Amino acid sequence: MPPPTSSLRTILSRDKVSFIVHSASSPFQQIRLDRVSRAFGSFNALREVSLDIGRGEFIALLGPSGCGKSTALNCIAGLLAITGGAISLDDRRIDELKPEDRGFGMVFQNYALFPHMKVRDNVGFGLKMRGVPRADADRRIDAALELVRLGNQGDKLPGQLSGGQQQRVAIARAIVIEPALVLMDEPLSNLDAKLRLEMRAEIRRIHNQLGATTIYVTHDQDEALSLADRVVVMRDGQIRQVGRPEELYDSPASLDVAEFMGFRNRIAGTVTAIDNGRATIAVGDARLVGRAGAGLGPGDAAMLVARPDDLALAAAGLGATVESVEYRGREFVGLARTGDDSELVFHSDTRLDTGATVTLAPDPARALVFRAAS
Amino acid sequence: MSTPDAPVSLRRRLALRGLDGTTLLIAPALLFLLAVFVYPFLYGLWLSFAPKAGPWFSNYAAFFSDPFQYNTIWTTLALALPVTVISLLVAIPVAFRVRLMRRQRLLTTILVLPITLGTVLIAQGLLNYLGPQGWFSRTLMFLHLTGGPVRLTHNYWGVFASILITGFPFTFLLTLSYVTGIDPALEQAGATLGASAWQRFRHIFLPLLVPGLAISFLLSFVQSFAVFPSAVLVGAPAGPTRVISIAAYQAAFEKYDYSMASAIAMIMAAVQLVVVVLVLAGRNMFYRGSTSGGKG
Amino acid sequence: MIRDTSIGARLWTTAVWVVVGFFVLNLLAMIATVIIDSFATRWLGTWLPVGLTTKWYSSAWSEFQLGQVLVVTFEIVFTVVLLAGLLGVTAAYAMARRDFPGKRVVMLLFLLPLLVPPITYGIPMATVLYQSGVGGTFWGVVLANLVPTVPFVVLVMIPFIEQIDPKVEAAARVFGAGTFRLFLYVLLPMLLPGILAALLLVLVRTIAMFELTFLAAGPTSQTLVVVLYYSVFAPGVRAVQSVDAMAVIYMVTTLVWLLLALRFVNPTQIVARARTQQAN
């Protein structure tokens, strides 16, 4: 994905604008996390996390709460000291710098707007700290407010704005300083569902327009997949997988990433054959086929995982009893229970009766087979 | 009540305005306070204008024409203001430091001690501790900071120390509750936007704290201004620490002039009120409102 | 939180801790002086007393009739706690659940006794108490002590009650609970932690309340702190150690309840409760 080239500066090109370039906001090619660790007492919130981020990239850190994604973000911002490893911008170590000397922009989960300052002064705070002359600052504030579509709200206090508007102010405040890196910590988690979709599009639009390198923390895979150029899946303080959204969606590399990506159905069995990247597993009398994960051989205990969308009625497959059926518009989604008491969620084009016996099989091209966790 | 068209009963109308059986639960507490707090105060006000002899204002005239009486106001201010200002100035940096501690409880518990023990016990302790033969004086001599024993009791400094010991923890805990009430994300936001520690304090914390600090100042000042037992016990109640509450007490319980005592109590309340109004007026010029940075 | 590790920041931190340490050291040394002196045979002009003894406790006990004083103290304190609880919790319930005309005025009325120092309103109050004949009696002291404690309970309880969803009460009524059973089975169990905390703090405050008790008490209705005041006030009449022994007894009486109260509340709440209501 080529980094977009326009910036706040070019938006303002009609004005002669002089910027005081902060040490860290100079252009850079790469930000590198090298075996970054963070321990809280005996608890390791981050364990040797390594990641390279290119200029202009939009990276999402995705994972369940407590996986270390926010810790990673705070370490990059300088709000938390790291206990091991290094963070560097090109070849310059920045992990010893105070947060105020890093020159990054950050959008906080609860916005963290200064309640006693007008919207304009909130947005202009970073410029004021950098000693940007008043006239320049005013122009840049106007441009930033225009960009987040809050042109006429500058003289209000944050408390007078709606949640979505507050979030826009927080974004304007972070980007007006033209940071080398924009950090976003679950910025949409306090908004209701409809506003969340709107702001998601808004964040993408602003990113496309400015091209600022962005690290975005979220626990919502939809958000991560729709926004990011690359998604980093984290768990237990470690990176489990890094990849483009479609890679992660189609081919999670491990069982727990797959589960997190919505592969809800788990069927345990034994590998009987591997052929052309497809693994066949035996579950009782049934034979099911899916794409084989790494290091799988015949005879291994395995786990087949599939999304509800990829599990359907079939001529041959696993027998189960329907427990409930919901109508979802185009299709029906059913819950069935197998003989060994595991639950399966599947889709069906026709209505089924509760208590009916069905035969279910996964789509071999989409289901995945992993070695069972020992 | 039986037909829909019947006029709404009084009971219903009152209930719509929020007055029903539940509201009446306030009555006992309210009546009690009216009888034992409000009435005595108003009665005292009236009584202060009904002197034993002379025209209606003669109590006040007597107070303000006798330096032995009116100087008590300055004596009390000279104790209360410095203690309050010092407490507040020390409390702010300490609160900023303590807010970073994970285990604040031990410190806060120690600081609650003097508030709980009360001024009488503090006074008794200080008589021993700060006396010429007490540990404090002995330590100063041991360190060769003074030549002879220091006398810190039965004078201004004894009362000063006593108010400081009960007043500082009060000011500090109040200040701490305001400081910790400020969303830490605001400071982080300030830092990521390039504000140094001092700039964060100056532009973010201070404006948000001013209303709270004003309240801390007022509550501590008002408490210090009403100093009584320690001014008698560790002070020099006949002279340098003859505070206004002593004047009121003597009028009431030594001269049995309740009218004069009420007048002095009213003057005491008026001085407190003046300071309260001044500080609150200043406080109104600042932002007052939520100290959180948004939702959540 | 942002931790700064530069030299200037470290010096500043050190300075702050030195100030705190100096304060705490003096405070603890002062308390220690009282305790040590109460066990001292003779302590004049030396770092530590010549010898140790417990005789001052028995002499203080008989000299000051502490048994009698303690009985009176706790009779007064528990009466105050009971009445403050009854008046305060009911009023707090109404304040939390109803909006009515004049509510702000009532709230101000509940705040004033906590904000105005006792000595300021105590003198006119004592005047009225004496004129109505209860001054100097047991009930005079109880009434005087209820003035700050009832509002205290009200202010502590309002947020507690507000956080209970009114739907819970509605549910109880729908399922057939009358007002009394609603209170007994639903509200009381949910409010108990709050009530307990509030009443323990009332207890501590009343034991330590000097000014109001001093102004309202007669010879037979003095609490421990007032007896302590009179004995410190008249120096030379009795041995200092004897007075200190009584001071230690007073300290223990107060601190036992304080420690108990601290199991239920955060120390900062002891001072900061009033502020939330009063911030604007």
The residue ranges of every structural domain in chain B are: 70-283
Residues of B in contact with A116 (CB under 8 A): 207-208, 286-287, 289
Where does the pLDDT of residue A86 fall: very low under 50, low under 70, confident under 90, or very high at 90 and above? Answer: very high
Count of all residues that appear for chain A in the document: 374
Q: Give me the count of residues in chain B.
A: 296
What interface predicted TM-score (ipTM) does this complex get?
A: 0.86
If you average pLDDT over residues A213-225, what whole number do you get?
93
Given an 8 Å threshold on Cβ–Cβ distance, is A115 in contact with B203? no
Mean pLDDT for A195-212 is 88
CB contact under 8 A, A98 and C2: yes
Distance CA C227, CA C63 (A): 11
- Compute φ and ψ for A342, nearest 5 degrees: -105, 150
Q: Do A79 and C2 touch (CB under 8 A)?
A: yes
Closest chain C C-alpha to A126 CA, distance in angstroms: 18
Tabulate helix, strand, coil % of chain C (nearest 5): 75, 0, 20
d(CA C9, CA A262): 49
The confidence score (pLDDT) of residue C115 equals 84
B292 touches chain A (CB under 8 A): yes
Provide, as residue numbers in chain C, all residues whose Cβ is less than 8 Å from the Cβ of A79.
2
- The answer to whether B2 contacts chain A (CB < 8 Å) is no
The answer to whether the CB of A255 falls within 8 A of the CB of A302 is no
Tokens 């417990």 correspond to: C54
Confidence of residue A6 (pLDDT cuts 50, 70, 90): very low
Chain C residue at shortest CA distance from A99: C2
Give, in order, the Cα–Cα distances in Å from C269 to each of A23, C72, C197. Answer: 45, 29, 10
Residue C6 has pLDDT above 80, yes or no: no
- Could you tell me the pLDDT band of residue B7, with boundaries at 50, 70 and 90? low
pLDDT at B260: 93
Nearest C-alpha of chain A: how many angstroms from C2? 6
Distance from the C161 Cα atom to the nearest Cα atom in chain B, whole angstroms: 14
B38/C208 CB distance under 8 A: no
Do residue C117 and residue B223 have CB atoms under 8 angstroms apart? yes
Does residue A81 sit at the C interface (CB-CB below 8 Å)?
Answer: yes
Name which of A116-130, B61-75, C252-266 the model is least confident about: C252-266
Is A98 an interface residue toward C (CB < 8 Å)? yes
Residue A5: which pLDDT band, with cuts at 50, 70 and 90?
Answer: very low
pLDDT category, A260, cuts 50, 70, 90?
confident
What pLDDT does B294 receive? 63
Answer yes or no: is pLDDT of A15 > 80: no
* Mean pLDDT, residues A306-314: 92
Return the residue in C11, C37, C127 with the most chain B beta carbons within 10 A, the one to mutate for interface testing.
C127
Q: Is A101 on the interface with C (CB under 8 A)?
A: no
Q: Which of C247, C280, C180, C217 is nearest to C39 (CA)?
A: C247
CA-atom Rg of chain B in angstroms? 25
For chain C, positions 150-179, list CB contacts with chain B under 8 A.
Answer: 150-151, 154
Residue in chain A nearest C2 by alpha carbon: A79
List Cα–Cα distances, B138 to A134, A228, B154, C25, C30, in angstroms. Answer: 60, 71, 18, 15, 13
Q: Does residue C121 carry a pLDDT above 50?
A: yes
Q: Cα A287 from chain centroid?
A: 35
pLDDT at C260: 86
Does residue A13 carry a pLDDT above 70?
no
CA–CA distance, C235 with A247 (Å, rounded to integer) = 88
Range 192-211 of B in CB contact (< 8 A) with A = 192-196, 199, 203-204, 207-208
Q: Which are the contacts of A338, defined by CB distance < 8 A and separation ≥ 6?
A: A267, A318, A319, A320, A344
Over range A54-74, report the average pLDDT: 92
Spell out the domains of chain A, with CATH numbers in brackets. Answer: 9-250 (3.40.50.300), 265-371 (2.40.50.140)
Name which residue leads in pLDDT, A220 or B16: A220
Q: Average per-residue pLDDT in chain A? A: 87
Q: Is A99 on the interface with C (CB under 8 A)?
A: yes
* Averaged pLDDT, A106-127: 91
State the amino acid at position A92 in one-letter form.
R
Smallest CA–CA distance, residue A40 to chain C, in Å, is: 14
Q: With beta carbons under 8 A apart, name residues in chain B contacting A112.
A: 183, 185-186, 188-189, 293-294
CA B212 to chain centre: 14
In the predicted structure, residue C50 carries a pLDDT above the cut 90: no
Tell me what the mean pLDDT of segment C188-199 comes to.
86
The answer to whether the CB of A59 falls within 8 A of the CB of A232 is yes
Residue C274: the pLDDT is 42
Strands A58-62 vs A357-362: parallel, antiparallel or unpaired: unpaired
Task: Identify the band that residue B19 occupies on the pLDDT scale cut at 50, 70 and 90.
Answer: confident
CB contact under 8 A, C4 and A98: yes
C276 vs B60, higher pLDDT: B60
| Chain A residue with minimum CA distance to C1 | A79
Shortest Cα–Cα distance, A216 to chain B (Å):
16
Q: C230 in contact with B at a CB cutoff of 8 Å? A: no
Hey, are the CB atoms on B191 and A100 less than 8 Å from each other? yes
- Inter-chain residue contact A106 with B208, CB threshold 8 Å: no
| Predicted confidence (pLDDT) per residue in B222-238, tens digit | 889 988 988 898 888 88
Select from B19, B33, B110, B170 the residue whose CB has the most chain C CBs within 10 Å, as the one to mutate to test that interface.
Answer: B33
Strands (E), chain A: 30-40, 43-54, 58-62, 84-89, 92-93, 105-107, 181-185, 213-218, 230-235, 238-243, 265-275, 278-283, 286-292, 301-306, 311-327, 332-338, 343-348, 357-362, 368-371
Contact assignment for C3 to A98 by CB distance below 8 Å = no
Kindly state the average pLDDT of the residues C148-170.
Answer: 87
- Find out whether B164 and B234 touch, Cβ atoms under 8 Å: no
Q: B193 vs A129: CB contact, 8 Å cut-off?
A: yes
Cα separations in angstroms, A258 against A68, A193, A251, C7: 19, 24, 8, 49
The string of pLDDT tens digits covering residues B177-221 is 888 888 888 999 999 998 988 899 999 999 999 988 998 899 899
3-state secondary structure of A11: helix
Contacts of B193 in chain A (CB under 8 A): 100, 105, 125-126, 129, 173, 177
Q: C275 and B177: CB-CB below 8 Å?
A: yes
Kindly state the average pLDDT of the residues C160-174. Answer: 82
Rounded to the nearest 5 percent, the helix, strand and coil shares of chain B are 70, 0, 30
User: How much is the average pLDDT of A148-167?
Assistant: 90
Nearest CA in chain B to A171: B189
CB B209 within 8 A of CB B99: no
Q: Which residue has the higher pLDDT, B113 or C146?
A: C146
Cβ-Cβ contacts under 8 Å between B and C: the total is: 273
Token couple for C21 = 């340490």
Task: Classify domain B70-283 at the CATH topology level.
Answer: MetI-like fold (1.10.3720)
Alpha-carbon distance A124 to nearest alpha carbon in chain B (angstroms): 10
CB B113 within 8 A of CB C27: yes
Chain C residue numbers with beta carbons less than 8 Å from the beta carbon of A99 are 2
Task: Pick the residue of A129, A166, A167, A192 with the most B CBs within 10 A to test the interface with B by mutation.
Answer: A129
Q: What is the pLDDT of residues C203-239, one digit of tens each?
A: 988 998 999 999 999 888 899 999 999 988 887 777 8
Chain C residues near residue A81 by CB distance under 8 angstroms: 3
pLDDT of A271 higher than 50: yes
Q: Which residues of C touch A (CB under 8 A)?
A: 2-4
Interface residue C229 vs chain B (CB under 8 A): yes
- Residue C228: partners with Cβ closer than 8 Å, 6 or more residues away: B120, B121, B124, C243, C246, C247, C250
Q: Give the residue-averaged pLDDT of B279-286.
A: 83
Helices (H) and strands (E) in chain B, counts: 14, 0
Q: Determine the Cα–Cα distance for residues B164 and B88; give it in Å rounded to an integer.
A: 11
Q: What pLDDT, on a 0 to 100 scale, did the predictor assign at position A26?
A: 55
Contacts of C156 in chain B (CB under 8 A): none
Specify the pLDDT at position C270. Answer: 61
C66-97 vs C224-233: helix crossing angle, rounded to 10: 130
Listed by number, the residues of chain B in 105-164 with a beta carbon closer than 8 Å to a beta carbon of chain A are none
CB contacts, 8 Å: C3 with chain A: 81
- Chain B residues close to C97, C-beta within 8 Å: 22
Q: Do B97 and C4 touch (CB under 8 A)?
A: no
- For residue A329, what is the DSSP state? S
Q: Contact B173/C117, CB-based, under 8 Å?
A: no
Task: Please compute, for residue A276, the number of CA atoms within 13 A of its CA located in the half-sphere on the CB side.
Answer: 3
CB burial of C115-139 (b: ≥16 within 10 Å; e: otherwise) equals bbbbbbbbbbbbbbbbeeebbbbbb
**How close are the terminal C-alpha atoms of chain B, in Å?**
47
Interface test with A, best of C2, C4, C6 (most A CBs within 10 A): C2
What pLDDT was estimated at residue A9?
46
Residue B5: what pLDDT? 57
Cβ of B293 under 8 Å from any chain A Cβ?
yes
Distance between C3 CA and the closest CA of chain A, angstroms: 8
% of chain A beyond a pLDDT of 70: 92
